[in-house]
Amino acid sequence: MTVPDTQWREIAASPFVSLGTFRRNGAEVAVPVWIARDGDELVVTSERNTGKVKRLRNDPRVTLRPCSRMGSVEPDAITVTAHGRVAGPATDDRRADSALRRKYGLQYRAILGFEALVRKIQRRPGDRVILRISRGD
C-alpha cells in the first residue's frame, strides 16, 4: 500500500522521526533521526557502523513516526511503513546533504563539525552514509 501524500509530508516535516528497522528475528528497533525530503524520497544520514545501517542491509522494511528529540512517540502519532536502502557514502550524495542542511541549518553543521573534530582526535576516518527511504507499495 502506498503511503498517502499527507502522511509522507507530515513525516518529512517532522523535526525528529523515530526510524524503526528490523532485526533478523523480526523485532523492531526504533531510534530518533533527522530526516529530510529529497524529491520523492526521504533521506537520513548515519555512521556506517550503526545498528540501523546493519539492520537495513538485511531487511529494507522501515517504520517512521514523528517523535521528540529523545525518541518519545505520542500515542496518536501516525506510523508510515516504507522501504529503506543504504545509498552510499554521505560524501558522494550532495543532494541528500543539501536537503538535510536546508532543513536543520546551523545545528546540522554543528553536529557534523563536532563529529569531525572527535574523529580527528581519535584518529579514525569519517564514515557516514546516506539512507534513502521510499514509499512502500
Q: What string of H, E and C letters represents the secondary structure of the chain?
A: CCCCHHHHHHHHHCCCEEEEEECCCCCEEEEEECCEEECCEEEEEEECCCHHHHHHHHCCEEEEEECCCCCCCCCCCCCEEEEEEEEEEHHHCHHHHHHHHHHHHHHHHHHHHHHHHHHHHHCCCCCEEEEEEEECC
pLDDT confidence bin for 3, thresholds 50/70/90: confident
- How many domains are contained in the chain? 1
Query: Higher confidence at residue 136 or residue 89?
Result: 89
* CATH of residue 124: 2.30.110.10
Containing domain of residue 17, as a range?
5-135
Place of cell 573534530: 117
Cβ pair 51, 131 in contact under 8 A: no
85-95: average pLDDT: 88
What's this model's pTM, rounded to 2 decimal places? 0.87
What would the pLDDT profile of 12-49 be if each residue is shown by its tens digit? 999 999 999 999 999 999 999 999 999 999 999 998 88
pLDDT at 80: 95
